[in-house]
Amino acid sequence: MAAETASGYIQHHLSNLTYGQHPVNGWSFAHTAQEAKEMGFWAFHVDTLAVSVVLGLLFIFLFRAAAKRATSGQPGALQNFVEVMVEFVDGSVKDTFHGRNALIAPLALTIFVWVFLMNFMDLIPVDWLPKVAATLAGDEHLFFRVVPTTDPNATLGLALSVFALILFYSIKVKGIGGFLGELTLHPFGSKNVVVQALLVPVNFLLEFVTLIAKPVSLALRLFGNLYAGELIFILIAIMFGGGLLLGALGIALQWAWAVFHILIIVLQAFIFMMLTIVYLSMAHEDNH
């Protein structure tokens, strides 16, 4: 495969289906990466939104179906799976979250399953769903990324939602004064009022950076790991166009990486869930 062809293949698979207001074309879909860039901040990644919503609905449908068919007798495979998931998440919440909030366990379950489903899309061969989308749209050059968590907009959106809950419960539990006190009176303190006043800017800088680091770490950790995994799958797919020998090697590498990647997609969903629980537990701690 020629270098420019491989480069174009990679660029195509890493480009999102973008809809927005173009300075020249008005509201339309971007046909090139440059057009998507020119649409600015308020452009929508339609593929990320569509796949995320579909997977979210799939999660709701499966768990609702299991709840409706739940029986105290011999459970089916779906009920067993859902019960294992619920017990696993419930145990994680009980071990980590030390406050009292009925929202945390359902939120943790939603995050774990939804993020896992979005990560799982990385195991689908990179050309399958984009070709289906291109065929349905009648445009063979259509951009279509099927892994929402390889889009920083999706991971940052999830992280900011968690961050909003952190701020909400921090203020609700500690009060606005307690919350501001955490940002300005820790970690350095002094009984001398003048010294304490001088330490306020230092404390605020340190605590503010720590606070902002929470959503950033949540978003970038998930995005970075899944983006790297997607890129490796794309590079392996390029080998299939390099002849019989490279194609055979590509098949072996694809299966090996897919098996290893199963661990990554589960682990990243688990880490996102656990960090969410930990951060919300910290938000519920009322340190006088």
State the catalytic residues. 217, 221, 225
Query: Which residue, 51, 3, 60, is CA-closest to 226?
Result: 51
Task: Quickly list H helices, 97-147.
Answer: 104-120, 128-137
H or E segment to which residue 225 belongs: helix 193-238
- Residues 108-141: b if buried by 16+ CB within 10 A, e if exposed: bbbbbbbbbbbbbbbeeebeebbeebbeeeeeee
Contacts of 254 (CB under 8 A, 6+ apart): 125, 233, 236, 237
Residue 243's region, left for phi above 0, alpha for psi from -120 to 50, else beta, is left
Contacts of 170 (CB under 8 A, 6+ apart): 179, 182, 283
Give me Rg for the CA atoms of the chain. Answer: 23
* Paired residues of 27 in beta bridges: 21
* Paired residues of 28 in beta bridges: 20
Contacts of 8 (CB under 8 A, 6+ apart): none
